Structure 1
């Protein structure tokens, strides 16, 4: 039995002193999901842009302009109240708006959405509308066409607006109260 213990001890010492071997790295393909997602998003954007261009061409009574923010707008009425200025950070903007699809189906009417007060850039509001309000003065009415990434994006509003849905919003700014 002693010989067995000595032999086991010697065997352990010999193999315990072996230096560690480096493991070979596994081959992992990274970025494939991101690349596929980018391709899918480009196709989605192109399809939305084509649908928006078709809608704009069909509107003979309105002239839409592309904004630097990535959406289109038409100035329906330019009646400024008291020569008001554009809203600035923390100004309170009182406005009414409605939301519809590109085919004209009303998603939310102005009466459903109700009159709203919004503190510029201090409250939650979907990106396109937040940027669109920056272009408007009190008393003006604009029609905006927002691609899905400027509207409710991938998730929609989890109620009536589906995912990746471009929308049309008619917005009227009633008043702008300057910050104190």
Structure 2
């Protein structure tokens, strides 16, 4: 009975230990840490791209890759005229996970935002540069272009790829 208790204690203790994935603020980053981080990012990107491609293959709607590493449901979107820095756009979008669960009740809305001064998801800014007024698009966004490793500290967890339905107002 004592052996079981001792083994259980060590198993619980080993589960409770967390390995550090990044150094603390102001800490030093060693070459091995950089290599570990690069490999993690590479493997995560490969896994998410496979997950998104699998999801696309099961849809009736077509999605097309963009150069920034996300997908959009508008063919040849990157060949549309591109808005320059300084131009203004108003837009709204809704965020879903890949089970198509809407993550927030209200759409996120931004009015009169200037290109080049965005504080939003990179894929959203990139797509908006090509969309026309009133146009709607669906984006499939890997986590690295969304909320990344930390999520949004609310409903979007870490390393979570997203579906974003965006509309130019």
Q: Deviations over 1:138-164 (max 9, x none)?
A: 121110011011111111112111111
- Number of equivalenced pairs: 137
Q: Which residue does the alignment assign to 1:155?
A: 150
Which of 87, 90, 109 is 2:86 aligned to? 90
Ranges of 4+ aligned residues in structure 1 off by more than 3 Å:
114-117
**Alignment of structure 1 residues 32-111 onto 2, 5 Å:** 32-60=32-60, 62-75=61-74, 86-109=82-105, 111=106
8 Å CA contact 2:118, 2:125 repeated in 1: no
Structure scoring higher RCO (CA < 8 A, sep ≥ 6) equals: 1
More strand, by proportion: 1
Structure 2 spans left out of the alignment, 5+ residues? 1-29
Q: Deviations over 1:56-103 (max 9, x none)?
A: 01111x110000111100039x9xxxxxx6432122211121000111
Q: Distance in 2 between matches of 1:59 and 1:65?
A: 13
Q: Secondary structure at the match of 1:75?
A: coil
Q: Distance in 1 between matches of 2:109 and 2:67?
A: 28
TM-score between both structures, scaled by the size of structure 1? 0.69
Q: Distance in 2 between matches of 1:170 and 1:126?
A: 13
8 Å CA contact 1:139, 1:173 repeated in 2: yes
8 Å CA contact 2:48, 2:142 repeated in 1: yes
Q: Which residue does the alignment assign to 2:5?
A: none
8 Å CA contact 1:99, 1:168 repeated in 2: yes
Q: Which residue does the alignment assign to 2:124?
A: 129
Q: Distance in 1 between matches of 2:90 and 2:109?
A: 11
Q: Deviations over 1:105-153 (max 9, x none)?
A: 11124x3424543211213112111111112111211100110111111
